[in-house]
Amino acid sequence: MDNEDRSIYIDADPETVWHALTNEDNFSAWYAPGSVWRIPELEAGCKALFTLMPSEHNQLEEGEHVDMSFTITEVVPYSRFSYMADEDELHFIFDVRSENAGSRVTVNMDGFGLSLENLKAFAEGRELPNV
């Protein structure tokens, strides 16, 4: 994964998109469906935990999982959510801004195409395309 920005237009207001990004149940629904996010406190300096489960989009076998820990680095309500992987210090930044009647979400990483498509579908109340 390189550090080229990816963005997508979402036909939903920034508040809806923000809750899709920062609520652990919502985040778990669209990001690597079947895997689980835990965000006990939405505050810079707090930990977020992610358990990646097997899917057709990764190399994990049935019964395997990968636990990852992240440190939340920035929380600007309805605007920016960022966190850093504790293992390799990879920094993920999600920016949300109003655009036309909806929102534009930009993430600072290439390789998020499928996830952004899922985020768009989730925030717009549609079926996820990438499960």
Q: What is the CATH number of the domain that holds 48?
A: 3.30.530.20
Q: What are the phi and psi torsion angles at 109 (to 5°)?
A: -130, 140
Q: How confident is the model at residue 58 (pLDDT cuts 50, 70, 90)?
A: confident
Q: How confident is the model at residue 1 (pLDDT cuts 50, 70, 90)?
A: very low
**DSSP secondary structure letter of residue 33:** B
**Average pLDDT in the 71-75 region?**
98
The letter for the amino acid at 111 is G
- Global confidence as pTM: 0.91
Residue 105: inside a domain: yes
Q: Are 50 and 70 in contact (CB under 8 A)?
A: yes
Which range marks the domain in which residue 101 is found?
Answer: 6-123
Task: Quote the pLDDT of residue 57.
Answer: 79
Mean pLDDT within 27-40: 94
